[in-house]
Amino acid sequence: MSERALRGTRLGATSYETDRGIDLAPRQTVEYACRNGHRFEMPFSVEAEIPPEWECRACGQTAQLVDGEGPEEKTSKPARTHWDMLMERRTLEELEEVLAERLAVLRSGAMNIAVHPRDNRKSA
């Protein structure tokens, strides 16, 4: 008989338990609003920390907590440029000295920059 009672049901897909006699955790409802004017409510436990932002159910944009504090602004470091990293290693006087040395080498002709391996292939 028990085999016939389960025939035609999807085992594991449907729960046959009921909520009778179960006390649910106390809840609070929090309202969010997005920039497009959508407003919606989300249930949270009374003990839960309420997030200041939530994804809007209608449009997917970030919605802000109504009558709440905004999200904390993250302090970000400014992007380090090549010049900033160079100045961490050398002073302006050192850079001017290196530049003068390199210009002297170029002007003396010790480095032949006019001949490049790729240029030889073109003429051959």
pTM here?
A: 0.44
pLDDT band at 124 (very low <50, low <70, confident <90, very high): very low
Q: What is the pLDDT of residues 26-75, one digit of tens each?
A: 999 999 999 999 999 999 999 999 998 999 988 989 999 988 766 667 78
Annotated binding site for Zn(2+): 34, 38, 56, 59
CA distances from 70 to 4, 32, 63, 64, 97 (A): 58, 11, 10, 7, 52
Q: What is the pLDDT of residues 16-29, one digit of tens each?
A: 777 788 888 899 99
Structural contact between residues 41 and 31, judged by C-beta atoms closer than 8 angstroms = yes
Annotated binding site: 34, 38, 56, 59
Assess whether pLDDT exceeds 80 at residue 118: no
| Alpha carbon distance 65, 50 (integer Å) | 9
Q: How does DSSP classify residue 69?
A: P
